[in-house]
Structure 1
């Protein structure tokens, strides 16, 4: 116990010296799930505990992660493996795509294809080769920053996609209104806009209603 306490104290000092006491407030409350198969497991565990992270689970193989990660409530996944097989790689990529977990991946060895796939998938931080556990605070910072950046980019893409879909709806609805021969394109748009304001709805919602009504009348006349 004395040795372990001294070890944790040493890790704390090393983190403070390397990062000038820049331990994040978020790190102090992070719920971390570990996947470690190397001899560094105890040192990584000590480091995470020294940072104040809550360790909510641990497995030695990524293959076990899907069934355990979600139930653990973890917001951060730290992976440290000797190497990564194709199946284990697919598991990590699936977790990256399907969950909101921030991920740090360390591999003692990896081919260029594995490294490229991890980077392309948006993994928060990837380290190939030796890992200094005292660098974990910086890696967590990098991983969280990249995770947040990708989340914002995805939200922007979703908004742009929604905007494009709305524009298509509005254009189709304008076409229906113009089909009567009584409205120009500008008049059709203003008619949709006025109706949307009167009904406290978006122009896209009103346009969808116009298209549904037009489809209903078309089916009734056939």
Structure 2
């Protein structure tokens, strides 16, 4: 059985905090922690280390969104922001800052759970995309290194490209290393010999 999610609710108003907790616990089992003070918010959130952060703000500004974003670690966990009203461009700024959900005038009992679910799904999607992007960048960099090492072998030994790659691959297999690591070592050695 899965552990219940730990959720931090950032809400200074005790009645609204209770409303959010009740909306969350109506249909699901969550461990909910309420943080009433925004002072030292990052430290308070780190102490709880929640799976999700829900924040209720009546009238946000870019500064408040930036402060909350820095404090809540939106790249580490889903963060949903409920606001009463929103100025032009704030929703875009919130999403660009990494928040998983920005909900205007949407703090109703029936919407809290679906917004939470959507924030979690969006966060997971974005995390997968960040991972895939990092892996793709790493693969491209490795490809560049391998191509450069092949070029060095082609010039130094007069080999065609496919034989230069085969030599890199054979050397990697003999040494129990990755082709990219052997290619990097060859490039480093060539720099030393220049």
TM normalised by structure 1 equals 0.78
Is the CA contact 1:96–1:122 (under 8 Å) kept in the aligned structure 2? no
Matches within 5 A, 1:167-186: 167-186=143-162
Aligned residues: 192
Higher helix share: 1
Structure of higher CA gyration radius: 1
Matched, 1:56 2:33: yes
Is the CA contact 1:43–1:133 (under 8 Å) kept in the aligned structure 2? yes
Q: In 1, Cα distance between the equivalents of 2:10 and 2:32? A: 11
Instruction: Give the SS at the match of 1:40.
Output: helix
Point out where structure 2 has 5 or more consecutive residues left out of the alignment. none
- Superposed CA RMSD in Å reads 2.1
| 4+ long deviations beyond 4 Å | 95-98
The counterpart of 1:139, out of the listed 111, 115, 126, is: 115
TM normalised by structure 2 equals 0.88
Q: In 2, Cα distance between the equivalents of 1:215 and 1:130? A: 61
The counterpart of 2:4, out of the listed 18, 26, 29, is: 29
Point out where structure 1 has 5 or more consecutive residues left out of the alignment. 1-24
Is the CA contact 2:62–2:93 (under 8 Å) kept in the aligned structure 1? no
Q: In 1, Cα distance between the equivalents of 2:84 and 2:159? A: 68
Q: In 2, Cα distance between the equivalents of 1:188 and 1:96? A: 50
Q: In 2, Cα distance between the equivalents of 1:95 and 1:177? A: 51
Aligned to 2:188: 212
Is the CA contact 1:33–1:56 (under 8 Å) kept in the aligned structure 2? yes
